[in-house]
Structure 1
Amino acid sequence: MKRPISQQSVQVALGQAALPVGVLTFNKDGARESSTFAYHEAWLRSADRFEISPDLQLVQGQQFRKAPSRDDSIFPFAFADTEPDGWGCRVIARDHARRRKSAQEKGRDVPHAGLTEMDYLLGVDDLSRIGALRLADEAGNYLRSIEDGGRGTPPLLELGHLIGATRAVEMNRETAADLKYLRGRGTSLGGMRPKCTILDEDGQLAIGKFPSINDDRSVTRGEVLALHLAAAAGITVAQSRIVMSEEIPVALVRRFDRVTNGGRIPYLSAGSMLQASRQEEHAYTQIADCIIARCADPKRDLEELWRRLVFNLLITNVDDHVQNHGFLHVEHGLWRLAPAFDINPFPDKDPELKLWLNEDYGPVDSIEAVMNEARYFRLSADEAKRILGEVRNAVGDWKRVAKSAPVGMTDDDLDAFQPAFENGQTEAAAALL
């Protein structure tokens, strides 16, 4: 028996001006899913053209993509970056299951049983989709648009409602109203922790990150502390602060892929820039190679990347994988490092980073080894020592910053996080200085 074959195409546009770029097509052949992309000829002729994804060359015709492993996306890398993260996928799947059940009970047409990769890709609201890529149907409607003319991104004053809905999902007690409220408002930047796209008080996009019911420490305050320490260490970071909602600390992190007039900046994760499979190990030196090949100011970004490497080790940020580093487009296919985001101290972990130092050394676990690799990042011994001193001094001030108004940690919080900031690596850094 021949397997059913289906296709679904969407128009791809770029930025707030919605410049037509090409067509993305989802293909389903039985259980097999794949995608193809073709640039519009007008984009290929444009003076402003660039490869929107490193695996999509500026050529005519269809470019095919299938996932090399179960963990990888079937879409070209730039599109995969805009897919919902683990939390967003959880909300979409729960909502789909509830819709099916409701339709069955009411005798209506039941949505198809299994969600496809395309369903998840199109499950993100157009306003909040990361970067500048926009997807539209044949009628020109941008996907996903909120139904019934509702507001796609809630304002800050709705934090209480958002927290209640996310906690209901965490406890498997969500209602149809909870899921309708959360649907499409997830993010692409993050993992399984509860979060939502939100409008800050001045109308700018931000990500609201909520405590989990399973937390044994104030993870949201820990992330804001890490971002403020990173800024003090000379690292470009996403703006952040703690916002209280009924005694619950929410981390509010501003989106860095938007400008004040609503403009959108193209974004690629470091994983996409590397064209990396999610099943492979990756190294800081590989990201450095991408910077040398693709960035507008390689020296600046190489120093910044090495500074982040030092900082991550000294604060025990062991979740520094390639999806937690990114790039913003500058012009004509040249990029720059995006501000640092999703930096978290892990006081209950050994200081061994997820990313490797290089392909021979393995995971980063020694500040001495990091110093020895500084030349790969085009830093002299004196420059490396200066940067180490700046980062070490910033991290050493962690208790004062933790008590500051934007973070607001208690004495109990300080005790919980101390092992992340005061450990063998920070002692070794002090000895090197």
Structure 2
Amino acid sequence: MKRPVLQQSVKVVLGQGAIPVGSLSFNKDGARENSTFAYHDAWLASIDRFEISPDLPLVDGHQFRKPPSKEDSIFHFAFADTEPDGWGCRVIARDHAKRRKAAHARGERVPTAALTEMDYLLGVDDMSRIGALRLRDEAGNFLRTIEDGGRGTPPLLELAHLLSATRAVETNRETVADLKYLRGRGTSLGGMRPKCTVLDDDGHLAIGKFPSVKDDRSVTRGEVLALHLAAAAGITAADARIVMSDDIPVALVRRFDRVAGGGRIPYLSAGSMLQASRAEDHAYTGIADVIIARSVDPKHDLEELWRRLVFNLLITNVDDHVQNHGFLHVEHGQWRLAPAFDLNPFPDKDPELKLWLSEEYGPVDSIGAVFEAASYFRLSDTEAARVLGEVYQAVLGWTRVAKSAPVGMTNEDIDAFAPAFENAQMEEAARLLA
């Protein structure tokens, strides 16, 4: 018997003002899935219009999307950026299973349909959805909102509750109450590690990142250290600090796609800007090409990107894939590099970055090769030497920053992370600068 065709449609709006942008539809016919998007006439006529996604030109009519590989999203890139990350998907899937089980126990008819890609997309709380795109149903309700009208984003005071619920999910001991508490509060930035959206003391949106039960070092302190070092190295980085929940260090990273009063800034990952398939390798030079074509200040952003490339190699941040770089919209389709985020030193990994230097060179594994490629980023040898020197000096002082109050590393933590900062790449950088 042929399964019925499933179709779901939502309205797409922009920012706190919920400016109408278009409509997004999901279609499932057996194993075949696709999505379509159509701009609203008012958006196409607006003087403030811009392409919300590089694969959605400003034209009339429905624009079709079918993923090129099973690793890629069924949605156009801008929407894919707002999907829940690995941790968020885990919470949504567990919650779905618990609800089905509870309904079955009550003797209710349980639907057999598995979660769709649209279910996951709509499973992110509206308040925490990355960037400025928002989704609405036909009744005008923002998706997703909390069913009982409760607060979607908890304050810092609830860190202990958040930590307890995420730890329960991570160890497969979660209750229906745990999942109800976490539901919709996932974020799109951060992979599989346990986390939750939270409000900082001043009401600003932030991400609370928790230690994993599998950690053999203080990963949360390591990330906050890397973000503070990045700032010391002249990199625009997300604001972060360690907040203690009882005796457990939680990394609190403030969201850079929000402004005072709750305003939202459109965001696209570098992967989206490149229209990059998740099944392929990508390079820093490709991101540089995007900056040249789309940045409001290419000279500034090219130097900033090369600075980040140097920094990632010197601190052994080998998880520098295209989803961990991003852009914020400025105006009229021009963008700027978003602050650096998800910077993590890996003392137990070989110093080879996930992003390639260029398609010709391959993976980044040598600060000397990075220096030789500086001209692609429109840097002279003198400018490159200046940037390298600034980054090198910042990384050289890593232990002082590690012991500072916002990071709070112990001597044991410092010993665990030392190989990430005291390495052959730093020695080569010193020779280049001599």
1:171 and 2:171 are equivalent in the alignment: yes
* Contact persistence 1:268–1:327 (CA under 8 A): yes
Deviations along 1:292-340, one digit per CA (max 9) or x if unpaired, are 0011000000000000000000000000000000000000000000000
- The CA deviation at 1:225 is 0.1
Letter in 1 for 2:348: D
CA distance in 2, matches of 1:112, 1:404: 53
- The CA deviation at 1:110 is 1.7
Letter in 2 for 1:407: V
- The CA deviation at 1:3 is 4.0
CA distance in 2, matches of 1:111, 1:380: 63
Secondary structure of 1:147's counterpart equals coil
Secondary structure of 1:261's counterpart equals helix
CA distance in 1, matches of 2:362, 2:103: 52
CA distance in 2, matches of 1:3, 1:191: 33
Aligned residue in 2 for 1:209: 209
Counterparts of 1:381-420 in structure 2 under 5 Å?
381-420=381-420
Letter in 1 for 2:185: R
Alignment RMSD, CA only?
0.6
Aligned residue in 2 for 1:133: 133
Secondary structure of 1:390's counterpart equals helix
Deviations along 1:274-295, one digit per CA (max 9) or x if unpaired, are 0000000000000000000011
Aligned residue in 2 for 1:55: 55
* TM-score, normalisation: structure 2: 0.99
Aligned residue in 2 for 1:427: 427
CA distance in 2, matches of 1:110, 1:146: 22
Aligned residue in 2 for 1:92: 92
1:346 and 2:329 are equivalent in the alignment: no
Counterparts of 1:135-174 in structure 2 under 5 Å?
135-174=135-174
Aligned residue in 2 for 1:325: 325
Aligned residue in 2 for 1:307: 307
CA distance in 2, matches of 1:427, 1:272: 35
Deviations along 1:93-134, one digit per CA (max 9) or x if unpaired, are 000000001101101232443100000000000000000000
CA distance in 2, matches of 1:258, 1:6: 35
Aligned residue in 1 for 2:279: 279
Aligned residue in 2 for 1:371: 371
Aligned residue in 1 for 2:67: 67
Aligned residue in 1 for 2:28: 28
Question: Percent of aligned pairs with the same residue?
Answer: 81
CA distance in 2, matches of 1:112, 1:161: 32
Structure 1 runs of 4+ off > 6 angstroms? Answer: none
Deviations along 1:202-233, one digit per CA (max 9) or x if unpaired, are 00000000000000000000000000000000
Gaps of 5+ in 1: none
CA distance in 1, matches of 2:77, 2:109: 34
Letter in 1 for 2:114: G
CA distance in 1, matches of 2:154, 2:63: 37
Aligned residue in 2 for 1:239: 239
Gaps of 5+ in 2: none
- The CA deviation at 1:67 is 1.1
Give the aligned length.
Answer: 433
CA distance in 2, matches of 1:298, 1:255: 24
CA distance in 2, matches of 1:4, 1:270: 37
Aligned residue in 2 for 1:110: 110
CA distance in 2, matches of 1:65, 1:210: 35
CA distance in 2, matches of 1:378, 1:57: 29
CA distance in 2, matches of 1:141, 1:270: 30
Aligned residue in 2 for 1:43: 43
* TM-score, normalisation: structure 1: 0.99
